[in-house]
Amino acid sequence: MLKKFFIIFAVSALSLYVIAAILFLGHQSNEASCKGIDILISGNGHNVLSNASLEQMLKKRNIHPTGKNMSQIDCNVIENAINEYSLVEECQCYKTHKNLVGIRITCKEPIMQIFDKNEKEFFIDKQGDIIEGIHNTIYLPVASGHIEREMATKELLKIAQFLQDNEFWNEQTEQVYFTSRKEIVLVPRVGNHTIELGKADNIDEKLDKLKEFYKKGLNNIGWNKYSNINIEFDNKIIGTKR
């Protein structure tokens, strides 16, 4: 009976110790100061977003956690501030047991640089989401002309996705121009001519047809024979001679 009493007493004492330790460590953690932030950025292939620029933004808004009491740090406020970057797909902010604040960011991937009809610059990603505030030099296909923002998920996205998936035309295309009728004109890197595509429909078929013409025609008669090549119509290539 005495032995059973000591076992119950020991278990109770151990339970009280564990509870007290948890409460004490929790109190200590809340009272401790943040030692710094641990930032990890994924999907940032063009190095558009940097740790330094994020820290600068957090300091400017007076929400940088370093040195602040852990209990006073609001991770939701930090997340909301970072999510204001149109480049950011997702942001997660959390506190660690080492008195650090972890920040995990997933970035969107820009696939085309665009200058709209008012010469304002923006980018789009593979979903057609608009990305602004990129100041780095990024080597991507460039679109300009009579462009409105609502075209981001329509004509612009069609041609951008095609170029991203087609190595030959991605390398061959210098610029994409949209006319006032939303028709596409390509300016190639090789060959002193322009290419009229018409509307953003059946782009792959039109450019496959032109690629064959390049191989069988221009390679024999010269790449500067024509000033303009029209591939808008089915089964027809119209070349305008110089």
Do residues 131 and 110 touch, judged by C-beta distance below 8 A? yes
Residue 90 scores a pLDDT above 50: yes
CATH of the domain at 56: 3.10.20.310
- Do 232 and 193 belong to one domain? yes
Q: 5: pLDDT confidence band, cut at 50, 70 and 90? A: very low
Q: How large a percentage of the chain has pLDDT more than 70?
A: 86
Q: What is the mean pLDDT of the chain?
A: 86
Q: 213: pLDDT confidence band, cut at 50, 70 and 90? A: confident
pLDDT in tens, 129-156: 999 988 888 889 999 999 999 999 999 9
Please compute the mean of the pLDDT values over residues 5-18 and round it to a whole number.
46
- Do 133 and 40 belong to one domain? no
Q: What is the Cα–Cα distance from 242 to 133, expressed in whole angstroms?
A: 42
Please compute the mean of the pLDDT values over residues 52-77 and round it to a whole number.
95
Please compute the mean of the pLDDT values over residues 179-183 and round it to a whole number.
94
- Do 153 and 200 belong to one domain? yes
Cα 5–8–9 angle (5° rounding)?
Answer: 85
Give the per-residue pLDDT at 47: 83
More confident site: 43 or 122: 122
Looking at the chain, list the stretches that DSSP marks H as alpha helix, in order from N- to C-terminal side.
2-31, 51-60, 75-83, 155-165, 167-172, 203-213, 219-221
Please compute the mean of the pLDDT values over residues 4-32 and round it to a whole number.
49
More confident site: 23 or 116: 116
Angle between helix 51-60 and 75-83 (nearest 10)? 120
Provide the CB-side half-sphere exposure for 7 (13 A, CA): 4
Cα 130–136–137 angle (5° rounding)?
Answer: 100
CATH of the domain at 216: 3.40.50.11690
Please compute the mean of the pLDDT values over residues 161-172 and round it to a whole number.
93
- Do 101 and 117 belong to one domain? no
Among the listed residues 81, 98, 102, 92, the one whose alpha carbon sits nearest the alpha carbon of residue 33: 98
Using left for φ > 0, alpha for ψ between -120 and 50, and beta otherwise, residue 47 falls in left
- Do 202 and 236 belong to one domain? yes
The total number of structural domains that make up the chain: 2
- What single letter denotes the amino acid at residue 159? I
Do residues 64 and 78 touch, judged by C-beta distance below 8 A? no
22 found inside a domain: no
Question: Where among 81, 107, 133 does a domain terminate?
Answer: 107
Do residues 184 and 178 touch, judged by C-beta distance below 8 A? yes
Question: Where among 107, 124, 142 does a domain terminate?
Answer: 107
Provide the CB-side half-sphere exposure for 68 (13 A, CA): 16
Q: Are strands 110-115 and 142-145 parallel, antiparallel or unpaired?
A: parallel
Domain membership of residue 94 as a residue range: 36-107
18 found inside a domain: no
- Do 100 and 129 belong to one domain? no
